[in-house]
């Protein structure tokens, strides 16, 4: 089922995803999305729904454009992974204490 609504872009380039879409995709505060421009369309993907092949292709393109080495890229990936795990752990811990 397609959900469509109009969202206004702010002066800072931000917009709000309609609540129905956030609920349907389980996008909560702190969720991460990957943004892709496909022709004249903007496509958002929930980060944890990307396949390893998708992530590898994305990172490969970004690294090539920025001249980033594989070693530096792997260090950055590990930092992000640790941060996400810490956030998830705190969320679970807070939820259990209520």
pLDDT(12) > 90: yes
Task: Give the residue-averaged pLDDT of 11-19.
Answer: 92
Pick the CATH number of 1-50 from 2.10.260.10, 3.40.190.10, 3.40.50.1980, 2.40.128.130: 2.10.260.10
19-73 pLDDT, tens digit per residue, is 998 998 889 888 888 888 888 888 888 877 667 777 777 777 777 777 777 777 7
Question: Residue 14: which pLDDT band, with cuts at 50, 70 and 90?
Answer: very high
pLDDT(92) > 70: no
Domain limits of the chain?
1-50
Residue 66's Cβ-count burial label (10 Å; 0-12, 13-18, 19+) is exposed
Phi first, then psi, for residue 38 (nearest 5°) are -120, 100
pTM of the model: 0.48
């Amino acid at each position: 089922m397609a959900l469509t609504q109009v969202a206004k872009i702010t002066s800072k380039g931000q917009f709000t995803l309609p609540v129905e879409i956030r609920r349907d995709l389980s996008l909560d505060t702190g969720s991460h999305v990957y943004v892709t421009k496909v022709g004249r369309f903007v496509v958002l993907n929930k980060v944890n729904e990307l396949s390893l092949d998708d992530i590898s292709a994305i990172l490969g393109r970004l690294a090539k454009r920025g001249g980033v080495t594989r070693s530096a890229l792997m260090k950055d990936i590990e930092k992000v992974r640790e941060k996400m795990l810490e956030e998830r752990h705190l969320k679970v811990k807070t939820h259990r204490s209520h």
